Amino acid sequence: MKLRILSVGSKMPKWIDSGFDEYHKRIQPMLTAEIIDLAAAKRAKNPSDANLAQYREQEGKAILATHQSNSREKLWVLDVKGKMLSTEQLADKLSEAMQIGDDVALVIGGADGVSPEVLAAADFKWSLSPLTLPHPLVRVVLMEQLYRAMSINNNHPYHRGN
């Protein structure tokens, strides 16, 4: 199974890159994972609702163009309204995808969310938390949870949940 994280935005603070890189390095023996940074739409200082919709649409086109929809790559989108999973449930979901032979493209949308087109194309909508998290921090939390889920699937002692 190959996992690609399609993330809108770039130029992360060093501490974000450091945290992400640590878990990315740890997960590699268990799962091939890569991050693909997609350019965020250029934003106005005081955007209107119409501007925000344009930003989501522009970023959504980049997400859908990068997603390999003609392959076995499933599109999982992080969305606050998505399904919440425990780490064990995430481990099961990843295990199921691996057994079927699916690859996964996991989307971290832009600062203003994802477009309706991306949500409509999603095979799975996942909420990390009902909290509003800064997009850079989501990268670290996401990679840590993927690592934790894969450690469960590989009987690694990292996860100490009940």
Q: Which long-range contacts (CB under 8 A, 24 or more apart) does 53-59 make?
A: 55/110, 55/112, 56/109, 56/110, 56/112, 56/113, 56/114, 56/115, 56/116, 57/115, 57/117, 59/8, 59/109, 59/110, 59/114, 59/115
Q: Is residue 128 a known part of a binding site?
A: yes
Q: Could you tell me the end-to-end alpha-carbon distance of the chain, in angstroms, rounded to an integer? A: 27
Q: Is residue 130 a known part of a binding site?
A: yes
Q: CA 139 to CA 85: how far, in whole Å?
A: 17
Q: Is residue 78 a known part of a binding site?
A: yes
The neighbour count for residue 86, using CB atoms within 10 Å, is 10
Contact predicate 143/27, CB 8 Å = yes
- Residue type (1 letter), 20: F
Q: Is residue 129 a known part of a binding site?
A: yes
Known binding-site residues for S-adenosyl-L-methionine equal: 78, 109, 128-133
Which residue ranges are tagged as binding site?
78, 109, 128-133
